[in-house]
Amino acid sequence: MKNILPIATPPIIGYLHHAYPLTILAHSTTYLPWLYSHYIQLHCPNSLLDSRHSRTVKFNFYRSPDQRFTISPYLKVQILNRDLVFKSPTDIVPFIIACIDKGYYVRLAVDEYFLPDSPAYRKRQFIHETLIYGYDKQTFIGIGYNKQGDYAAYHIAFSELEQAVLHANLKGHYDPDGLRLFKYDPHAQYDFDIRLVCEHLEDFLSSRNTSQRFRMLANPTDGAYGLATYECLKHFLASHILWEHKKCMVERLKYMETHGYIELEDGFSVQCDELARTAGMIRMMLLKFRKTRNPDLIHRMCSHLDALAEEERGLLQYLLNKLEAVCL
């Protein structure tokens, strides 16, 4: 008895709501035109505490209001109420196995107190999501953040996952349903959208509130957008997503060079790679600060952030000028 669905290393692991869908999609290159048409705009709320859920809201890639349901055309999503599906504890394991056998990846809200690979194991209650993508004999195979802080696969006994689900109190949780199913759609198609890329680049450069484009779905979300989010970073002190944003931009520009949207001779991907190196250095400074609490590291980080913003502004404005003809 064994079934393991395909996964691959995703381009973004900073938050699980990005990492899990991309972990599924990344096993095939067909999703790349969609990926490179998105993940451009950044957002940081005015208040770092979202009072609606008493949950810290962080510097992040901007997500449109409908992304809870329609993440990507390559990914079918079902949101289920856990209490309606699991009528009794004995329903949990057979349901997950049946889902995997039908090609569904199972994202569950669990209490990580019962997950052996979690930092919270046997220490504290911590309600968080996990992704189960396979099983083998008496264990499930999942992926998430382990005790070392790495995004990695893990094995968990059927009985342990059962307890983790049963003890996950979802009252007041940001995901009250507690159960989502993902299924890869190999027949989906999404062509690289250069006009959407230009639109998002313009929003990023001008720090425009992109959520205003989706007001037919939800009221606009306040906060800083685009380059203006870098000021938030000076106070919030989180830089992993910034680094991943720059790495994604490098790969996007390489894709655009390969497919003739921009000239290789203009060196956009090479210049952006330097920005990614700077973002990586800022990330390492912050990690070092968390160990040493040396305030000089914060001053240096802020200085590098300012320089990064100016260099990025110039590079992306030049890119938009080059793309002006195809973006009309």
What is the C-alpha separation between 121 and 327, in angstroms, rounded? 51
Residue 52 lies in a domain: no
Same domain? 210 vs 284:
yes
What is the C-alpha separation between 60 and 219, in angstroms, rounded? 19
Same domain? 141 vs 201:
no
Same domain? 172 vs 293:
no
Q: What is the pLDDT of residue 47?
A: 67
Same domain? 151 vs 250:
no
Instruction: Look at residues 133, 159, 184 and tell me which one is the last residue of a structural domain.
Output: 184
Same domain? 174 vs 101:
yes
How remote is the C-alpha of 95 from its chain's centroid? Answer: 27
Q: Is the dihedral of CA 259, 263, 264, 269 positive or negative?
A: negative
Instruction: Phi first, then psi: give them for residue 112, nearest 5 degrees.
Output: -70, -5
Q: What is the pLDDT of residue 328?
A: 65
Same domain? 92 vs 208:
no
Same domain? 6 vs 126:
yes
Q: What is the DSSP string of 98-153?
A: HHHHTT-EEEEEEEGGG-TTSTTTTT---EEEEEEEEEETTEEEEEEE-TTS-EEE
What is the C-alpha separation between 128 and 16, in angstroms, rounded? 10
Q: Name residue, tokens 């992040």.
A: 60
Residue 64 lies in a domain: no
Residue 121 lies in a domain: yes
Q: What is the pLDDT of residue 56?
A: 56
Q: Is the dihedral of CA 99, 142, 109, 15 positive or negative?
A: negative
Please name the residue ranges forming H helices in 146-193.
Answer: 158-166
Instruction: Look at residues 129, 163, 184 and tell me which one is the last residue of a structural domain.
Output: 184
Residue 318 lies in a domain: yes
Tokens of 325: 């003809």
Instruction: Look at residues 184, 216, 236 and tell me which one is the last residue of a structural domain.
Output: 184
Q: What is the pLDDT of residue 161?
A: 96
What is the C-alpha separation between 114 and 163, in angstroms, rounded? 7
Task: Give the global pTM.
Answer: 0.94
Residue 65 lies in a domain: no
Same domain? 305 vs 257:
yes
Residue 245 lies in a domain: yes
Same domain? 284 vs 250:
yes
Point out the residues of the chain with pLDDT beneath 70: 47-57, 328
Same domain? 222 vs 180:
no
Same domain? 150 vs 245:
no
- Tell me the residue type at 175: D
Residue 146 lies in a domain: yes
Same domain? 158 vs 251:
no
Q: What is the pLDDT of residue 48?
A: 56
What is the C-alpha separation between 225 and 45, in angstroms, rounded? 9
Q: Total structural domains in the chain? A: 2
What is the C-alpha separation between 267 and 147, in angstroms, rounded? 40
The string of pLDDT tens digits covering residues 223-271 is 999 999 999 888 877 789 999 999 999 999 999 999 999 999 999 999 9
Residue 22 lies in a domain: yes
How many residues does the structure list for the chain? 328
Q: What's the domain range around 273?
A: 195-327
